[in-house]
Amino acid sequence: MIRLLKILEFALSSLGRRKFKNFSIIVVYSLTITALASVLLLTSSLKKTALNVLVDGPNIVVQRLAGGRHDLIPTDYARIIEKIPGVGRVKPRIWGYYYDSLYHANYTILGIDRGSEQFAMVEGKTPAGDEQCMVGQGVAEAQHAEPGMDLLLINSKGIGYSCEISGTFKAKSALWTNDLIVFTTGALKRFFTMPDGLATDITVEVFNAGEVALVAQKIKRLLPDTRPITIDEILHTYESIFNWRSGMMLTIFTSSLLAFSILAWDKATGISREEKREIGILKAIGWDTGDVLTLKLCEGAVISVTAFLIGISLAYIHVFLLNAPLLVPVLKGWSVLFPRFHPVPYIDGYQIIILGFLTIVPYMASTVLPSWKAAITDPENAMRGV
């Protein structure tokens, strides 16, 4: 151990003699890791947040298909689904989208039962009547509105519609409720002029989580024109979306990966005359080939680990302290109403280990090959830089 520590000490002093060159390598190396780690950290945080919220959602969402597209579903289907063994609460749901041409923003509008308390994260109160609504912070800011004021929209008949804002969602739910407007079910049906006996979809609760897939199959068999979507499928879809978006960002950073590859290749193809001379001197004074390789391995480890730690730290600051200003517009989604986004700190250890393996190991390996070639060369020729 003492011998290894002495070699490490000599490696640090050797790096110090070429501080400008090594500093430039660390800077490029760190920035490359920062770019890659920022994407991974932000994606992991978004996926964790999404999965934590969606896991409490309905076990099954039943949609009706017409011509291969989502269509309104008869509320009578709920009574058929309720008769399936193992099914709990079955609830028709009314929701849709609204484009505000005045503020050029897209809103999501949801209907709830009058006096419903299913939304806990709200400042004020949930709608107590058809003349009230509650909105997300993004909608309130776009409309310059607050609780007690009126929200003005245009319904499907082109007629102005006004309702009192009874409350707004709290900031911690902004990722999901920023563009949301909640009406009572009756008010929303009139706003959309939706016929009685129809709903947007039906949510299904299943008592035994292990029977969700089986219940979905029974629903499909009883109601062939429907598409039951299980919670696992919803979670998988969101995970795939975030993976696709992170992959798109990683593709954008291909240039940084290319720069790092060129750097590693340059390191692997040869070493400077000064380094060859140093290896020749070490061989002449009694160092064996193993000692030289250990020395160069220590140098590579110091540079790569230092750059990796700096890169991960900068990525953490960029994502969780500065709220990832360079990445959020791409990874959050398409909505015009971007919430004030504060990623929840979450680090996927597996991804960090893979990133370290793909960046640290290749660089360390690239330092060993040229050093081995110099170490097996005659010391006199090595000192001459041949």
The full DSSP string for 241-275 is HHHHHHHHHHHHTHHHHHHHHHHHHHHHH---HHH
Name the pLDDT band for 309 (thresholds 50, 70, 90).
Answer: very high
What residues are paired with 230 via a beta bridge? Answer: 60
One DSSP character per residue, 71-139 reads E-EETHHHHHHHTSTTEEEEEEE-EEEEEETTTTEEEEEEEE-TT-----SEEE----STTEEEE-HHH
The backbone torsions φ and ψ at residue 155, rounded to the nearest 5 degrees and listed phi first, read -80, -175
Note the pLDDT of residue 258.
67
| C-alpha–C-alpha distance, residues 284 and 379, integer Å | 6
- Give the tens place of pLDDT for each residue, 2-28: 777 877 787 788 778 778 878 888 888
Name the pLDDT band for 381 (thresholds 50, 70, 90).
Answer: low
Lowest mean pLDDT among 90-94, 239-243, 308-312: 239-243
- Is 197 a domain residue? yes
What residues are paired with 124 via a beta bridge? Answer: 167
Lowest mean pLDDT among 119-133, 141-155, 157-171: 119-133
- List the structure tokens of 201: 């979809």
Higher pLDDT, 45 or 243: 45
Note the pLDDT of residue 199.
95
What number of residues does the chain have? Answer: 386
- List the structure tokens of 237: 């879809």
Q: Once rounded to an integer, what is the mean pLDDT over residues 42-70?
A: 83
- Give the tens place of pLDDT for each residue, 344-366: 788 888 888 888 887 888 777 77
Q: Once rounded to an integer, what is the mean pLDDT over residues 140-156?
A: 86
The backbone torsions φ and ψ at residue 377, rounded to the nearest 5 degrees and listed phi first, read -80, 150
Q: At what angle do helices 19-54 and 2-17 cross, to 10 degrees?
A: 110
Same domain, 38 and 130: no
Note the pLDDT of residue 222.
95
**Domain closes at, from 187, 203, 230:** 230
Name the pLDDT band for 337 (thresholds 50, 70, 90).
Answer: low
Q: Once rounded to an integer, what is the mean pLDDT over residues 309-337?
A: 78
Q: Are 147 and 124 in contact (CB under 8 A)?
A: yes
Same domain, 95 and 203: yes
Q: Once rounded to an integer, what is the mean pLDDT over residues 22-40?
A: 85
- Is 378 a domain residue? yes
Same domain, 7 and 106: no
Name the pLDDT band for 202 (thresholds 50, 70, 90).
Answer: very high
| C-alpha–C-alpha distance, residues 336 and 328, integer Å | 13
| C-alpha–C-alpha distance, residues 336 and 338, integer Å | 6
- List the structure tokens of 29: 């190396």
What residues are paired with 154 via a beta bridge? Answer: 160
| C-alpha–C-alpha distance, residues 134 and 130, integer Å | 11
Judged against a pLDDT cut of 60, whether residue 331 lies above it is answered with: no
- Is 186 a domain residue? yes
Q: How many CB atoms lie within 10 A of CB 149?
A: 12
| C-alpha–C-alpha distance, residues 367 and 11, integer Å | 13
| C-alpha–C-alpha distance, residues 240 and 200, integer Å | 25
One DSSP character per residue, 269-281 reads H---HHHHHHHHH
Name the pLDDT band for 115 (thresholds 50, 70, 90).
Answer: low
Note the pLDDT of residue 85.
93
Note the pLDDT of residue 366.
75
**Domain closes at, from 208, 230, 252:** 230
At which residue do the structure tokens 């399936």 appear? 84
End-to-end CA distance of the chain: 34
| C-alpha–C-alpha distance, residues 44 and 343, integer Å | 10
Our CA dihedral for 106, 112, 115, 117, rounded to 10 degrees, sits at -90
Same domain, 78 and 216: yes
SS3 226: strand
Same domain, 256 and 375: yes
Range of the domain at 255: 2-53+240-383
Same domain, 320 and 171: no
- Is 235 a domain residue? no
Name the pLDDT band for 377 (thresholds 50, 70, 90).
Answer: low
- Is 44 a domain residue? yes
Judged against a pLDDT cut of 80, whether residue 49 lies above it is answered with: no
- Is 219 a domain residue? yes
Q: Once rounded to an integer, what is the mean pLDDT over residues 246-267?
A: 64
Same domain, 157 and 37: no
**Domain closes at, from 230, 249, 265:** 230
What residues are paired with 153 via a beta bridge? Answer: 161
Q: Is the pTM of this model over 0.85?
A: no
Same domain, 86 and 187: yes
Same domain, 263 and 180: no
- Is 331 a domain residue? yes
- Domain count within the chain: 2
Same domain, 251 and 175: no
Same domain, 47 and 157: no
Judged against a pLDDT cut of 70, whether residue 269 lies above it is answered with: no
- List the structure tokens of 191: 């706003």
Judged against a pLDDT cut of 70, whether residue 325 lies above it is answered with: yes
Higher pLDDT, 118 or 328: 328
Judged against a pLDDT cut of 90, whether residue 93 lies above it is answered with: yes
Mean pLDDT of the chain: 81
- List the structure tokens of 228: 């039951």
- List the structure tokens of 95: 């929701």
Same domain, 173 and 250: no
Q: What is the gyration radius of the CA atoms in the chain, in angstroms?
A: 30
